[in-house]
A and B are shown apart, each in its own frame.
Chain A
Amino acid sequence: MKKLLAVLLASLLVLALGACSSGSDTASTDATSSSSDNVIRIGVYEPASGDNGAGGKQETLGIQYANSVAPTVEVGGTTYDVELVIVDNESSNDKGPTAAASLVSSGVSIALGSYGSGVSIAASDVFGNAGIPVIGVTCTNPQVTEGNSHYFRICFLDPFQGTVLANFAAENFQAKTAYSLAKLGDDYSVGLCNYFNQAFEALGGTVIYETFPEGNSDFTSYLTTAANSGADVFFAPVSTEAAALIINQAAGQGWSKPILAGDTWDSNVITSAATGTDVQIYVTTFFHEGDTSEKGTAFVTGFKEWLNANPNMLTNNGGNDMVSAVSAMGYDAYFTALEAIKNAGSPEPAAVMEALWDTTYDGVCGNIVFDDVNGDAVRDVAFVKQVNTESGNWDFIAIQGIS
């Protein structure tokens, strides 16, 4: 009898928990309208926690801002409300597919994301099997779109980015030796390091390549190895979390050579870690806040206003109103998705996927045209920015292509 009671109590507890969690599920969608007939759902598959949480939140902010600018879309004479369904993939390749599956079951027409190539690759099949198209916003690893027809992408790719960085190192710093550091098992940093290494060696340089394991926070030994090897540049396209540690320890060890990284480092996590130190940091990225074009200025002003009007959003952006390139990319991705839905003439995922191939959009980060092979955007230049360690802002350095 006692045992039966215990089992009953335990199952009651489980039920109560279940009720709580289903309550929070509905709360995480931005319910803008109560009518379900004229609603198009766009999935946002981004990390809000884990290694890439900071960047993922900023990318999501760009999408949310775009949604606030254009909350409706007209398709075939009917006005639909656009509702964002936001999930957290926790920057984890194991948890990503579950998050993706919850997007699929909530009936999204198209999904956007993710920040971080690893999670994008991990969830690709979930979207593919459900026939839902995805636009990769800033996942730069080639494998994301390779060999499938549902994953598209609006940013440049790592082979391009790695080559740009190698060129930049060789041209601007006359670097002969480079030290590159990746995180073990991380598709993004390992991939980008490989492309950088190949390009740098092709330019006649020498590369020392090392990796660090998950959960490592001691980078002093890596910096020492780099110093001992006489490296002219330190290339570390790792997550912002590890980046903050590297910058901090580089400053502590008096590292004076340039540190290069990819688009991931374009984040105010980096600027706040570097402010007040002597570390020189250069990154390649998609967009620069000081962009003076009409579109760029309009986006920057509007986005800042929106951030400052929403204290929660300001916190998600890292506590200040600096515009990150991933936010601009998120903004472009949202409008590209709307454009595709308009071209498709229906919110059906299959129709949207069909229409995406021919969709073009002139965004704040440049013109977006998809190629016919993998559905990658055609891009041939990247912005190079440097951290201003006094003001804590980004200084624009150059627009770098491949020579």
Chain B
Amino acid sequence: MNFMQANLPYLLAGISVGGQYALIAIGYTMVYGILRLINFAHGDVFMIAGLIMIYAAAAMPLYLAIPLVLIATVVIGFLIERVAYKPLRSAPRMSIMISAIGVSYLLQNLALYVTGGLSRMYPTIPFISDSVTIGSATTKMVTLITPVLTLILVVVLVLFIHKTKIGMAMRAVSKDFETSQLMGIKINSVISATFIIGSFLAAVGSMLYFTNYAGVTPTAGAMPGLKAFVAAVFGGIGSIPGAVIGAFIIGICENIIKGMGWTTFSDAFTFALLIVILIAKPTGLFGEKATDKV
């Protein structure tokens, strides 16, 4: 019992951070599934969502700010695809990846310019910022809400992909890009839909993440983005359940490692895990067999 009491906080932190990684990882994995593109700017979209929230919450009440953040982030995700990726659709895959890296740095430096490089405090969202006590552990409400909300969103997303027409189109495009185009699928709207969903989930993730870890800096998206990317690869990039499970595993392992006193190695471990998994199972946990080279 004592053991449980002492270690419950680590587990809670792990599950909650895992859920937040999962929401970002879905964006990586969906874009990869359809475009075979690693969207390096995704972590920065997550950070921008955090910044928009800070400025929106200062200017208007929260019940307006929250929808605004969701909409603005979706618009940004959509615009990034239209401006930086769409013109390169027939270019070699390397060019579009470089373009993604360019967008990532552009967003970071824009944020640096706007904020002056200083950490901004994230606004307190009532209810989810409240403290709750579970057994011996005191934590924020958001810790409990994150995994539940993540699972609900994933179930909705999976239903969306399997039951709707656009979802069917997404699956077709991810199977075979050229053929589905020949079959009359409007490839551009499918890709836009993918970016919209990814950005929406990143915006939700940013609200949960920054409520827990309240400082937003221009590079605040880099580490969560990288970890979420690792989670997506870990679970088998292109697979949504894989990304979610991978994210939870990484979040929980990371915090258990910290709990064991090896704090110095918690990040090293995450990346070592990636290497080991890729050696043992190159396509990740749920990855598809036939892979393209990126």
Q: Which of A59-67, A213-221, A332-340 contacts B (4 or more CB under 8 A)?
A: A213-221
Distance A90 CA – B118 CA, assembled complex (angstroms): 11
The one of A53, A211, A245 in contact with B263, judged by C-beta atoms closer than 8 angstroms, is A211
Q: Are B219 and A215 in contact (CB under 8 A)?
A: yes
Question: Considering only CB atoms and an 8 Å cut-off, how many residues of chain A contact the other chain?
Answer: 37
Distance A218 CA – B224 CA, assembled complex (angstroms): 11
Report if A217-B118 is in contact (Cβ < 8 Å); known contacts: A211-B264, A254-B131.
Answer: no
Q: Are A245 and B215 in contact (CB under 8 A)?
A: yes
Report if A252-B263 is in contact (Cβ < 8 Å); known contacts: A220-B13, A241-B119.
Answer: no
Most buried by A among B117, B121, B217: B117
B116 to chain A, nearest CB (A): 7
Which B-chain residue is minimally distant from A219 (CB atoms)?
Answer: B213
A227 to chain B, nearest CB (A): 8
Q: Are B215 and A50 in contact (CB under 8 A)?
A: no
On chain B, the residues within 8 Å of A361 by CB distance are none
The one of B17, B112, B140, B223 in contact with A252, judged by C-beta atoms closer than 8 angstroms, is B140
Q: Are A240 and B119 in contact (CB under 8 A)?
A: yes
On chain A, the residues within 8 Å of B112 by CB distance are 49
Q: Are B213 and A252 in contact (CB under 8 A)?
A: no
Task: List which B174-219 residues lie within 8 A (CB) of chain A.
Answer: 212-215, 217, 219
Q: Are B138 and A254 in contact (CB under 8 A)?
A: yes
Q: Are B138 and A244 in contact (CB under 8 A)?
A: no
Distance A289 CA – B198 CA, assembled complex (angstroms): 49
Report if A53-B264 is in contact (Cβ < 8 Å); known contacts: A222-B258, A225-B259.
Answer: no
Q: Are B118 and A221 in contact (CB under 8 A)?
A: no
The one of B119, B131, B259 in contact with A54, judged by C-beta atoms closer than 8 angstroms, is B119
Q: Mark A250-277, 1 if CB is under 8 A from B, else 0.
A: 0111100000000000000100110000
Q: Are A213 and B10 in contact (CB under 8 A)?
A: no
| Interface flag for A354 (CB, 8 Å) | no
On chain A, the residues within 8 Å of B129 by CB distance are 252
On chain B, the residues within 8 Å of A217 by CB distance are 213, 215, 220, 223
The one of B116, B121, B139, B266 in contact with A48, judged by C-beta atoms closer than 8 angstroms, is B116
Q: Are B116 and A225 in contact (CB under 8 A)?
A: no
The one of B121, B138, B264 in contact with A184, judged by C-beta atoms closer than 8 angstroms, is B264
A50 to chain B, nearest CB (A): 6
Q: Are B264 and A244 in contact (CB under 8 A)?
A: no
Distance A253 CA – B212 CA, assembled complex (angstroms): 11
Which A-chain residue is minimally distant from B262 (CB atoms)?
Answer: A210
Which B-chain residue is minimally distant from A50 (CB atoms)?
Answer: B117
Main secondary structure of the interface of A (DSSP, over half): helix
On chain B, the residues within 8 Å of A227 by CB distance are 9
| Interface flag for A212 (CB, 8 Å) | yes
Report if A54-B213 is in contact (Cβ < 8 Å); known contacts: A218-B17, A218-B255, A254-B131.
Answer: no
On chain B, the residues within 8 Å of A211 by CB distance are 263-264
Distance A213 CA – B264 CA, assembled complex (angstroms): 6
A267 to chain B, nearest CB (A): 11
Q: Are A221 and B214 in contact (CB under 8 A)?
A: no
On chain A, the residues within 8 Å of B118 by CB distance are 49, 53-54, 57
Distance A251 CA – B138 CA, assembled complex (angstroms): 10
B120 to chain A, nearest CB (A): 10
The one of B116, B121, B212, B258 in contact with A273, judged by C-beta atoms closer than 8 angstroms, is B121
| Interface flag for B243 (CB, 8 Å) | no
Distance A228 CA – B136 CA, assembled complex (angstroms): 11
Most buried by B among A50, A269, A315: A50
Report if A241-B215 is in contact (Cβ < 8 Å); known contacts: A49-B112, A210-B261, A254-B138.
Answer: yes
Q: Mark A185-214, 1 if CB is under 8 A from B, else 0.
A: 000000000000000000000000011110
| Interface flag for A308 (CB, 8 Å) | no
Q: Are A216 and B139 in contact (CB under 8 A)?
A: no
| Interface flag for B222 (CB, 8 Å) | yes
Distance A252 CA – B141 CA, assembled complex (angstroms): 9
Q: Are B116 and A49 in contact (CB under 8 A)?
A: yes
The one of A53, A210, A215 in contact with B116, judged by C-beta atoms closer than 8 angstroms, is A53
The one of B139, B215, B220 in contact with A220, judged by C-beta atoms closer than 8 angstroms, is B139
Report if A215-B121 is in contact (Cβ < 8 Å); known contacts: A53-B116, A225-B258, A241-B217.
Answer: no
Distance A252 CA – B255 CA, assembled complex (angstroms): 17
Task: List which A71-124 residues lie within 8 A (CB) of chain B.
Answer: 90
Which A-chain residue is minimally distant from B220 (CB atoms)?
Answer: A217
Q: Are B121 and A221 in contact (CB under 8 A)?
A: no
On chain B, the residues within 8 Å of A213 by CB distance are 264, 266-268
Q: Are A228 and B213 in contact (CB under 8 A)?
A: no
| Interface flag for A249 (CB, 8 Å) | yes
Distance A222 CA – B13 CA, assembled complex (angstroms): 11
Distance A6 CA – B214 CA, assembled complex (angstroms): 46
On chain B, the residues within 8 Å of A216 by CB distance are 223, 266-267
| Interface flag for A143 (CB, 8 Å) | no
Q: Could you list some 17 contacts between A and B, CB below 8 A?
A: A49-B118, A50-B117, A53-B118, A90-B117, A210-B264, A211-B263, A216-B267, A218-B17, A218-B213, A220-B9, A221-B258, A241-B215, A244-B121, A252-B129, A253-B131, A253-B137, A273-B121
Leading 10 A-B pairs by shortest Cβ distance: A49-B117, A254-B138, A215-B223, A221-B258, A217-B213, A224-B9, A241-B119, A220-B13, A210-B263, A252-B140
Interface residues of A (CB under 8 A from B): 48-50, 53-54, 57, 90, 184, 210-213, 215-218, 220-222, 224-225, 227-228, 240-241, 244-245, 248-249, 251-254, 269, 272-273, 315
19 extra A-B contacts, CB within 8 A, seeds A215-B267, A244-B121, A251-B131: A50-B117, A53-B117, A57-B118, A184-B264, A210-B261, A216-B266, A217-B223, A218-B255, A220-B9, A220-B13, A221-B9, A221-B10, A224-B9, A240-B119, A241-B119, A244-B119, A249-B213, A253-B9, A272-B121
